[in-house]
Amino acid sequence: MKKHNSYSSLIPGFARGCLLIVLCSGFGNLMAQDTTAKKSTVAADTTAAAPVVKKKSYVKDTFEGNLLIDDQTVMVPIKGTFAFEIQHRFGTVQHGFSDAFGLFATATMRLGFNYVPVNNLQIGLGASNEKMEVDGNLKYALLKQTKNGSMPVSVTYYGNALMDTRKQDNTTTLFVNTSDRFSFYNEIIIARKFNDKFALQISPGYSHFNNLAGYLDANGKVQPTWNNDQFGIGLGGRLQVSDGMSLIANYDQPLTQNPAQNPRPNISFGIDMRTSGHDFQIFIGNYSSLMPENNMLYNQNNYRKGEFLIGFNISRLWNF
Amino acid sequence: MKKKLIFISSLFAVCMMSFAFTIIQQPKPWPVPAKDAKIANPVKSNAESLSAGKSLWSLHCVSCHGKKGLGDGSKAAQLKTTPQDMTLASFQSQTDGALYYKISEGRDDMPSFKKKIPDAEDIWNLVNYVRTLKK
């Protein structure tokens, strides 16, 4: 059932406006950062003078890569990095051996491509087999933690726009206008690298769905199941246990009270292995979608009932 | 007699086959331009530098060069050029500038790392760590 309220016609324009404002302010920050960022240079000239190396002030590798299980990390790769992401979530483990703990059940997967055209800015595109969704995303490093402590945290913005590209069929899909297909996600990720081995991040997030399913009440009136705006918060951490291997964990808590159904939180933990060109994560958690806004709203996997699922993320990195 | 001959020639064939399909690895001298070899290392080899260097070594280098730089990494057998034993004096005798150049530029099987490690200070940290591999 399509939900009509006084907000729905305004919000698509409003959401677009928000994204535009954020993009413009991001550009302004980029200009500012260019003038203050410390860069290392090597002057290799024929006089063979010692190259000028300014002391690099930012901490490196707060996390291993772009992803921390279901969340984005605070990291934006170095300029010129092109990454290919493969994300995969199996079915829940509850059926035991009958479906190989979810391995033989229906899986959700996403393929994504990211590129860092200028320092601190990453743009990406992806497609997921869940509801045939395609997404465009943007990640910008607003602040970076410094080694001398003058900036104690790194802060990054991440946002995406998601489009459900399924055909309109009046039975499973609810699209009257094209704008009904869209949802948006924005978050601010704040992280601190405490030492070489341990880092933590916290990420408050906000999703907006242009159109959501409702239900008919006893009087035949359309009632909303959920709010179109959702807030949530995530907490993630990484502990390096050996060169190239870390333990990772995540907790996500939806915060919005919905009229008819509330989403459940997520607990996930696993291993991260990184090589020169790849980043592998394998883990178990409650979230089954690859898109943060879907997880934040629709997750009904209950950790108290052991409704966990196995998943993995693989990133392949190239530097141009 | 005939059986013996067949047996010996089969044994010989098997021995020849045992090293078939292997790549013959050659050590290959790597000259470095004089101006690059003369560049002095501006980064002190302190604990912080070595720690950073070790992380970079584990991430980018171990798979071919091996954990101790002996050239026995998991990928080493597939390489056309033998990675040199970095523990030997013949390797360690080259200048820091020469090591910097080789890491930065790469050659043949060895990738160029200047795009993957864009900060010069990081490559110097790696050079400092490579020095500790000396026997």
Hey, are the CB atoms on B52 and A60 less than 8 Å from each other? yes
Q: What is the pTM of this model?
A: 0.79
Give residue ranges of A with CB < 8 Å to any B CB.
Answer: 40-42, 44-46, 48, 50-53, 55-56, 60-61, 78-80, 196, 243-244, 274-276, 319-320
Burial (CB < 10 A; 0-12, 13-18, 19+), residue A216, is exposed
Predicted complex: ipTM over 0.90: no
| Amino acid B122: pLDDT | 93
The two structure tokens encoding residue B67: 């954990």
- Considering all CA atoms of chain B, what is the largest pairwise distance in Å, rounded to the nearest integer? 74
What is A246-284 written as a DSSP string? EEEEEEEEE-PPPSS--PPPEEEEEEEEE-SSEEEEEEE
Asked whether residue B63 is assigned to any structural domain, the reply reads: yes
The confidence band for A41, taking pLDDT boundaries of 50, 70 and 90, is: very low
In this structure, the dihedral spanned by the alpha carbons of residues B35, B37, B42 and B46, taken in order and rounded to 10 degrees, is: 180
Per-chain mean pLDDT for chain A: 86
User: Among A11-20, A92-101, A242-251, B114-123, which is the least confidently predicted range?
Assistant: A11-20
Among candidates A48, A53, A275 on the partner chain, residue whose Cβ is nearest the Cβ of B38: A48
Kindly report, residue by residue over B67-103, the tens digit of the pLDDT: 999 999 999 989 888 888 999 998 999 999 999 999 9
The confidence band for A32, taking pLDDT boundaries of 50, 70 and 90, is: very low
Asked whether residue B60 is assigned to any structural domain, the reply reads: yes
| Amino acid A55: pLDDT | 55
Asked whether residue B35 is assigned to any structural domain, the reply reads: yes
Q: Which CATH number fits the domain that encloses residue B74? A: 1.10.760.10
Number of independent structural domains in chain B: 1
Asked whether residue B11 is assigned to any structural domain, the reply reads: no
Residue B116's nearest CA partner among B127, B128, B106 is B106
Asked whether residue B67 is assigned to any structural domain, the reply reads: yes
Rounded CA-CA distance A142/A134 in Å is 26
**Closest Cα in chain A, distance from residue B11 (Å):** 42
Hey, are the CB atoms on B120 and A41 less than 8 Å from each other? yes
Helices B47-56 and B120-131: crossing angle in degrees, nearest 10, is 100
Hey, are the CB atoms on A243 and B40 less than 8 Å from each other? no
Kindly report, residue by residue over A103-152, the tens digit of the pLDDT: 999 999 999 999 999 999 999 999 999 999 999 999 999 999 999 889 99
The boundaries of the domain holding residue B86 are: 27-131
Residue A313's nearest CA partner among A135, A66, A131 is A66
Among candidates A56, A79, A244 on the partner chain, residue whose Cβ is nearest the Cβ of B59: A244
**Closest Cα in chain B, distance from residue A43 (Å):** 9
The confidence band for A51, taking pLDDT boundaries of 50, 70 and 90, is: low
**Closest Cα in chain B, distance from residue A155 (Å):** 22
Cβ partners under 8 Å of residue B74, min gap 6 = B63
Taking only Cα atoms into account, the Rg of chain A, rounded to an integer number of angstroms, comes to 21
Domains and CATH numbers, chain A: 11-34+68-319 (2.40.160.40)
What are the E-state strand segments in chain B?
A: none
Kindly report, residue by residue over A168-209, the tens digit of the pLDDT: 887 888 788 999 999 999 999 999 999 989 999 999 999 999
Asked whether residue B119 is assigned to any structural domain, the reply reads: yes
Angular region, B66: left φ>0, alpha ψ -120 to 50, beta rest: left
Q: CA distances (Å), B72 to each of A39, A254, A284, A316, B53, in order?
A: 35, 50, 35, 24, 19
Asked whether residue B89 is assigned to any structural domain, the reply reads: yes
Asked whether residue B88 is assigned to any structural domain, the reply reads: yes
**Across the A/B interface, how many CB contacts are shorter than 8 Å?**
54
Taking only Cα atoms into account, the Rg of chain B, rounded to an integer number of angstroms, comes to 20
